[in-house]
């Protein structure tokens, strides 16, 4: 594998692409360390230390994960890639609901370009809302739940400057991701997400060693490596449905007669259901955060069961929501009727299954059967950090969380496959020997 990397760097155009990606990653990480204007860095660091030892950090775990730890430090890139992820998911859902967007999707590349533009606009809108909420929490002292001032000034001008800076930071992140996609290797946004997730690993692993000793550190590392291997195995698992195309004459040429297959992955939904479930459970906790001084019963109930995440009720709700959103997302992204109609249109059929409605029913049956283990797998992987919290109280610094493992494995596999294909085009030996 090291020899394959050496071959990639010996190829001039691949070397330029890889170095360009590394340069963008360095710029991205630098922006994640630069504090926004008006932030009291010393007080923020003190509050982060207190929060990690307390119970307040769990509320922002998901957003802080996708910002590489930049959110709680109130940096220029504090929002990270989360607004773009949310906007992309919303547009994917709206394509199924709004006929105009569905028509744009069917137009091909031109329609996809317009949808991408809508995603950018929605990302900026969501970034503006999120930045306003985060800065408002920081100004009121509720962000990190400490008694120190996180900002040098609580004036309106400082508030507006910070909101504009964080929103602009999200726009820059989008631009950097698109540069990687156009001039580098792999999907730019995915690589930036991968960078932010991996960036927190050294500090969190060392924190486990400092708080729980070498034995727990070794156990956590071994469990993490085993989980990565298991996730790689599941992520590559798929059910291949054979498809046979009949021969047909078009003019004087014969077409068809080939055999192929429809790959249905066990984890057809990816990491999206975990993000959906986390975001939905994040909303009541955020509402309780804004009303924590009201003394209402529902605020105390949410703070008891839905903030730290170590309560069995929270775990059960999280698991059931992941299962539900897995079925929901798969149902809107894979349309058996559309696949059956396209197969019938081009003369394809599944051996032993009649074209048309029987093919649609068969695809729906197979999809529902493989979605069940896929949803259970996602739910169990996502519960790993919560179980770690209950057993060794290591949720705040447990590096091998379900979401982070899924992102790392998925992006790494996709990027390696793209490099592999480019190496094979140049008659080099690839990664997979």
Q: Look at 16-30, 169-183, 275-289 and tell me which has the smallest mean pLDDT.
A: 275-289
Q: Look at 168-182, 240-254, 342-356, 359-373 and tell me which has the smallest mean pLDDT.
A: 240-254
Spatial separation of the C-alpha atoms in residues 133 and 156, rounded to whole Å: 14
Res. 167 pLDDT band, cuts 50 70 90: very high
Rounded to the nearest 5°, which phi and psi values hold at 75? -90, 180
Q: How is the chain split into domains, by residue range?
A: 1-199+414-433, 206-400
Q: Which residue has the higher pLDDT, 49 or 355?
A: 355
Cα-Cα-Cα-Cα dihedral sign, residues 245, 246, 248, 253: positive
Query: Looking at the domain covering 206-400, what would its CATH class be?
Result: mainly alpha
Tell me what pLDDT residue 67 has: 60
Spatial separation of the C-alpha atoms in residues 144 and 45, rounded to whole Å: 10
Kindly report the pTM of this predicted structure.
Answer: 0.76
Q: Which residue has the higher pLDDT, 197 or 168?
A: 168
Same fold: 1-199+414-433 with 206-400: yes
Tell me what pLDDT residue 64 has: 61
For range 243-260, the mean pLDDT: 69
Percent of the chain topping pLDDT 90:
4
Residue 239 Cα distances to 175, 260, 265, 340, angstroms: 37, 13, 6, 17
The β-bridge partners of 249 are: 254
Spatial separation of the C-alpha atoms in residues 433 and 427, rounded to whole Å: 13
Res. 56 pLDDT band, cuts 50 70 90: very low
Res. 276 pLDDT band, cuts 50 70 90: confident
Tell me what pLDDT residue 54 has: 46
pLDDT reading at 431 higher than 70 = no
Please state, rounded to an integer, the average pLDDT across all residues of the chain.
78
Q: How many CB atoms lie within 10 A of CB 271?
A: 22
Q: Which residue has the higher pLDDT, 141 or 105?
A: 105
Tell me the Ramachandran region of residue 69: left when phi exceeds 0, alpha when psi lies from -120 to 50, beta otherwise. left
Closest CA to 350 of 367, 363, 333: 363
Res. 125 pLDDT band, cuts 50 70 90: very high
Closest CA to 57 of 130, 144, 148, 149: 144
End-to-end CA distance of the chain: 8
Rounded CA Rg of the chain: 24
Q: CATH fold of 1-199+414-433, please?
A: Preprotein translocase SecY subunit (1.10.3370)
Tell me what pLDDT residue 252 has: 64
For range 311-332, the mean pLDDT: 85
pLDDT reading at 192 higher than 60 = yes
Rounded to the nearest 5°, which phi and psi values hold at 240? -95, 115
pLDDT reading at 62 higher than 60 = no
Q: How many CB atoms lie within 10 A of CB 278?
A: 20
């Amino acid at each position: 594998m090291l020899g394959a990397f050496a071959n990639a760097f010996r190829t001039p155009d691949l070397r330029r692409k890889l170095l360009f990606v590394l340069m963008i990653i360095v710029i991205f990480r630098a922006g994640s360390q630069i504090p926004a204007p008006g932030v009291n860095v010393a007080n923020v660091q003190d509050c982060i230390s207190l929060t990690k030892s307390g119970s307040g950090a769990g509320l922002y775990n998901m957003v802080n994960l996708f910002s590489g730890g930049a959110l709680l430090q109130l940096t220029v890139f504090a929002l990270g890639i989360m607004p773009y992820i949310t906007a992309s998911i919303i547009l994917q859902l709206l394509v199924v609901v709004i006929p105009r967007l569905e028509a744009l999707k069917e137009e091909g590349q031109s329609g996809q370009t317009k949808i991408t533009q809508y995603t950018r606009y929605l990302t900026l809108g969501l970034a503006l809302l999120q930045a306003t909420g985060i800065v408002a929490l920081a100004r009121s002292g509720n962000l990190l739940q400490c008694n120190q001032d996180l900002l040098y000034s609580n004036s309106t001008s400082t508030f507006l400057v910070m909101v504009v800076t964080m929103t602009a930071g999200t726009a820059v992140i989008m631009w950097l991701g698109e540069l990687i996609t156009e001039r580098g290797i792999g999907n730019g946004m995915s690589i930036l997400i991968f960078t932010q997730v991996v960036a927190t690993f050294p500090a969190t692993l060392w924190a486990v060693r400092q708080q729980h000793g070498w034995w727990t550190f070794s156990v956590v590392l071994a469990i993490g490596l085993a989980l990565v291997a298991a996730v790689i195995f599941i992520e590559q698992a798929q059910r291949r449905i054979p498809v046979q195309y009949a021969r047909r004459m078009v003019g004087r040429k014969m077409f068809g007669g080939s055999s192929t297959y429809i790959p249905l992955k066990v984890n057809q939904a990816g990491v999206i259901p975990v993000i959906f479930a986390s975001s939905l459970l994040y909303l009541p906790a955020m509402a309780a955060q804004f009303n924590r001084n009201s003394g209402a019963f529902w605020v105390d109930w949410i703070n008891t069961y839905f903030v730290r995440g170590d309560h069995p009720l929270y775990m059960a709700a999280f698991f059931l929501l992941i299962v539900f959103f897995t079925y929901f997302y798969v149902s809107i992204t894979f349309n058996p009727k559309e696949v059956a109609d396209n197969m019938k249109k081009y003369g394809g059929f599944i051996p032993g299954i009649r074209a048309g409605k029987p093919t649609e029913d068969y695809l729906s049956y197979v999809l529902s059967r493989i979605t069940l283990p896929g949803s259970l797998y996602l739910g169990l992987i996502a519960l790993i950090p919560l179980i770690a919290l209950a057993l060794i109280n290591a949720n705040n610094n447990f590096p091998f969380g379900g979401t982070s493992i899924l992102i790392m494995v998925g992006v790494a596999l996709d990027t390696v496959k793209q490099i592999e294909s480019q190496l094979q085009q140049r008659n080099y030996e690839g990664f997979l020997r």
